[in-house]
Amino acid sequence: MADTAMPPTGGRDSLRRRRPSGEPAPLPKEPLAGSGKAWTAVALAVAGLFALLLSPTELFLGSGAWWNSVDAELTGWFVTVRTSLLTDVALVIDEIRTDWFVTALRWGTVAALVGFRRWRHLIVFVGAVIFTDTLVVGLSNRLARPRADGVEILTDWSGFAQPSHDAAALTVTLVAMVYALVVPGRPRRSALISISVVLTILGLARVYLAADRVTDYATAMVIGVTVPLMAYRLATPDAVYPVSYRRGKTAHLDLSGRRRAAMVAALRDQLGIEVAGIEQFGLEGSGGSTPLRISVLDGGYVFAKLYAKNHLRSDRWYKLGRTILYGALEDESAFRTVRRLAEHEDHVMRLMVEAGVPCPAPLGIVEITPGREYLLVTEFLEGVSELSDGEITHPTIDAALWTVSKMWDSGLAHRDIKPANILVGSERVYLIDHAFGEMRPSPWRQAIDLANMLLALSIHSPPKVVYERASEHFSQMELAEAFAATRGVTIPGELRQAMRDRCPEALREFRSLAPPHPPIRIQRWTRRRLLVLVVLALSAAAAVWLVALNRSIVGQLL
């Protein structure tokens, strides 16, 4: 009889700790943390002021005359300290707000973002700039505040005074540039401080020249800071879309600071794992997650994959691309949440283990940020290496083919068989990375799994040898079907590249060994595929039409 007595800790692992209701998650979502909250408060205050100024209220704070008197005193003081030297200096400083300089900064940023293929940041940059310029022009026309009275304005000006269009244009450009191009942390803080100094000096120069009054400039700065700050923090949070110039794939998230501490705490609390260290591992073969090797305090390792929203986005785009290229053959749909992504892979791995398909044992899912970041934790396989690095013997080939046949028998498919996902050790073969795994796959998908395994094995062994071994596990018609279904798009990119480098004729050779089989079409026209193509075409046409219609506006703003 099993011992069912309660252990002294009350029936629960002593390391695990349930997070009570109300306690923040290991890495809470706080897009407007720190300065974001402060600027939001300031922006709301300014918005309230504008509302008062635009309203018919007679309160003195809403009366233009009161603000005029405050501004007049401040401007008047600056006029009293005018000298020809100071005027020359102020005019030089004022040059940085000119149209040509701001336009050059904007186009330079656009070019840099295109060069770095940082598309989301590019869209946010352009959107923030256009929104700010439109808002400022609209507000200034509505307020219709003239320039300073009774003082000589020593430089050129244009438009109504408040908010200052020149100040807002330069501020939004500089702040948006920093958020789009500068790495978060100390570099970004330093850049923002530098910008603040530059804008303060420009503000002093503008007030000295009487081109802007203090409130004109200040309100423009608040708008120019708040719009890009909120846009970037909400649309491209650093935790999900980090600005980084490290080599490597954008899927691989930064593991320093708060995220690392959150992972350590979450692994302890949720899985009872005491972490000694976390390092990135096996990055070359991964593109849809951040793979990690975690050393445990009492020895040994576990393996983990960190999933975040950028992986979800990659999954969506990947599946959309496949739908466009060859249709939704298997009614495939993108995951809606990061949680679902992690849950799916964990579930597939448990099915694989249950079916006897060799793969790492899943240990559970850890929540880092609710809805946003999860760790999928599995055992770490020691003494194995990727197929490309291991020794490929006949028993190894047999073991690899046996995994495919086991999946066929169990109604499972891996769907991403490539050398980086095949681990070899002691003539055992393990399949890893089951993110694309499927239950009850179509026959076509099963055939593709077999074909990709054969092609992966042929990188290190002659196709004739691989085919002979495969004939022991599969019928000739099954092998013929596998190669009849294979096209360029059905072969994972890494496997395609390896074949190009080492065995470009493998597929042709396999087809010559297998019995003839008519090609299996993979381009299927479905309602969904048609709809996606129509929507894409209409969106592209609408975008071109909008740009053409507003090219003068876009040209002026940029």
Using CB under 8 A, pick the residue from 39, 50, 125, 157 that binds another protein: 157
Using CB under 8 A, pick the residue from 121, 145, 418, 511 that binds another protein: 145
408 in contact with another protein (CB under 8 A): no
Task: Determine contact, residues 139/167, Cβ cutoff 8 Å.
Answer: no
Nearest residue (CB) to another protein, 70 versus 533:
70
Cα 72 to its chain centre, rounded Å, is 49
474 in contact with another protein (CB under 8 A): no
Query: Among 145-153, 262-270, 327-335, 368-376, which window interacts with another protein (CB under 8 A)?
Result: 145-153
* Alpha-carbon separation of residue 16 from 233, 300, 339, 476 (angstroms): 33, 19, 21, 53
Q: Least distance from C-beta 69 to another protein, angstroms?
A: 12
The closest of 463, 453, 391, 393 to 422, measured between CA atoms, is 453
Nearest residue (CB) to another protein, 179 versus 208:
208
- DSSP secondary structure string, 274-330? PEEEEEE---TT-SSSEEEEEEETTS-EEEEEEE-HHHHHHHHHHHHHHHHHH--TT
Beta bridge partners of 424: 385, 429
Using CB under 8 A, pick the residue from 70, 104, 144, 542 that binds another protein: 144
Nearest residue (CB) to another protein, 134 versus 141:
141
DSSP 3-state of 78:
helix
Query: How would you class 283 by CB atoms within 10 Å of its CB: exposed for 0-12, middle for 13-18, buried for 19 or more?
Result: middle
The closest of 135, 153, 134 to 82, measured between CA atoms, is 153
70 in contact with another protein (CB under 8 A): no
Using CB under 8 A, pick the residue from 48, 146, 277, 356 that binds another protein: 146
Q: Least distance from C-beta 147 to another protein, angstroms?
A: 5
Nearest residue (CB) to another protein, 210 versus 413:
210
Q: How many residues bind another protein (CB under 8 A)?
A: 14
The closest of 117, 109, 120 to 309, measured between CA atoms, is 120
147 in contact with another protein (CB under 8 A): yes
Residue 519 sits at the vertex; the CA angle it makes with 513 and 525, to the nearest 5 degrees, is 155
Nearest residue (CB) to another protein, 161 versus 308:
161
Query: Among 112-120, 153-161, 435-443, 461-469, which window interacts with another protein (CB under 8 A)?
Result: 153-161
First to last CA, the chain: 78
Q: Least distance from C-beta 67 to another protein, angstroms?
A: 13
The alpha carbons of the chain give a radius of gyration, in whole angstroms, of 31
- DSSP secondary structure string, 234-255? HHS-TTTS----SSS-TTS---
In the shown chain, the binding pattern of residues 86 to 125 toward another protein, with x for contact by CB under 8 A and - for none, equals ----------------------------------------
Q: Least distance from C-beta 164 to another protein, angstroms?
A: 14
Instruction: Kindly report the number of other CB atoms within 10 A of residue 553's CB atom.
Output: 13
Q: Least distance from C-beta 163 to another protein, angstroms?
A: 14
* CA–CA separation, 71 and 206 (whole Å): 13
Nearest residue (CB) to another protein, 137 versus 198:
137
Nearest residue (CB) to another protein, 40 versus 68:
68
153 in contact with another protein (CB under 8 A): yes
Nearest residue (CB) to another protein, 24 versus 146:
146
* Alpha-carbon separation of residue 102 from 79, 122, 168, 224, 322 (angstroms): 27, 17, 11, 13, 41
Query: Among 103-111, 156-164, 188-196, 252-260, which window interacts with another protein (CB under 8 A)?
Result: 156-164
Give residue for tokens 């700790």: 17
187 in contact with another protein (CB under 8 A): no
Query: Among 43-51, 142-150, 231-239, 511-519, which window interacts with another protein (CB under 8 A)?
Result: 142-150
Residues lying near another protein in the complex (CB under 8 A):
141, 143-147, 149-150, 153, 156-160
